[in-house]
Amino acid sequence: MMIRKTWLWLCVILIGSLRVMRTYGFYVNITYLESAVDIGAVCLDGSPPAYHWNMGSGAGINNWLVHIEGGGWCNNVSTCLARSLTRLGSSKQMMEQVAFSGILHDEPQYNPDFYNWNKIKVRYCDGASFTGDVENVDPETNLHFRGARIFNAVIEDLLAKGMINAENAILSGCSAGGLASILHCDKFKAFFPASTTVKCLADAGYFINSKDLFGKRRLEAFYDDVVNIHGSAKSLPPSCTSKMNNSLCFFPENVVQEIETPLFVTNAAYDSWQIKNAVAPGVVDPHGKWHDCKMDIEQCSSDQIEIIQEFRLEFIRALDGFFGTSSPRGMFINSCYAHCQTEIQETWYMSDSPMLSNKTIAEAVGDWFYDRSAFEEIDCPYPCDKTCHNRIF
């Protein structure tokens, strides 16, 4: 009897979960780009790149949203080998279907401006935000650092499948994918004829060169390793690499001034990934005093909040040069403890989604893209924003 009750309860949970997914998202099959293998545009383990494509319809049939998956980076042989055994380094390890929601949703009540566009989610399997390009492959590791080739191959494949006729196109991404949408923004625009309206959207991709608890710029040192092992320098903007160390050109604050394509940035000023991994990583917190705070911002002590508030101020300072260009820019910088908000339905467009100036992220991005109105908002400090969906890990 107990086993039967347990089984019935699990069925109820499963059915409920499926109902939620049908409402807030749907599954899209994978496409493996086998032809890319011939030109060496492959994942870390040498497997073909992949993407998921939900075709457009109606008035959106000639509009294209290319969204790049996130997932951090690898910075040496050991971390890249470990990564090559996962979905973030091998298409052999990827699920056949992924859920589309938020900016990838196909119903107007959940995605009012982009629901009927062609929507592509590019899988992330190179470990360097699609910047790497090393010709030689060490036979002992079989690691391929070919992210830049993957980006080109995927875009060219989509162009051949109809994207060349796009009236509107957006390159977007989350986290490391958001960084990729910044670094490749102008390159993406160059693929299209002048008649196409092309803009870029970076979600949680504005990583800053912050100091950790000991005053060390840990992310800068990490990026230096990433750029070196992946051979990323040639994919970074020459306007930046000619003036400073290549690794510094992985930070958006050092490249956005030169980007000519219209760009919108949405980011939490208290970016949970950056606070967990750049400000208070475990290596500088051996006794775990920051553990509870990093898991839930409401558990932070007053001293910890003070440090986090300083991170916010540093983040805002890093945006100083963002509007130093003639191309239309936009930003939605809320004071939430979060990381990636456009892919998640609850934070993209729902009745209780985060808001600034009475607009959700979806409304702000839509107004900016279609030139209905500008949007350049930075939130007040934590804990003033009661619309936040703060991450609890």
Catalytic residues: 175, 271, 339
CA 301/CA 291 separation, integer angstroms: 11
Alpha helices by DSSP H, listed for the chain, are 2-24, 77-83, 147-160, 176-183, 185-190, 218-230, 238-241, 272-274, 291-295, 302-317, 345-348, 361-369
Vertex 262: Cα angle to 189 and 380 (nearest 5): 145
CB 72 within 8 A of CB 88: yes
Lookup result for tokens 């092309």: 198
- SS3 label, residue 204: coil
Long-range Cβ contacts of 315-320 (<8 Å, 24+ apart) = 315/206, 315/208, 315/210, 315/267, 315/269, 315/271, 316/269, 316/378, 318/206, 318/208, 318/209, 318/251, 318/252, 318/253, 319/206, 319/253, 319/265, 319/378, 320/253
CA 355/CA 389 separation, integer angstroms: 10
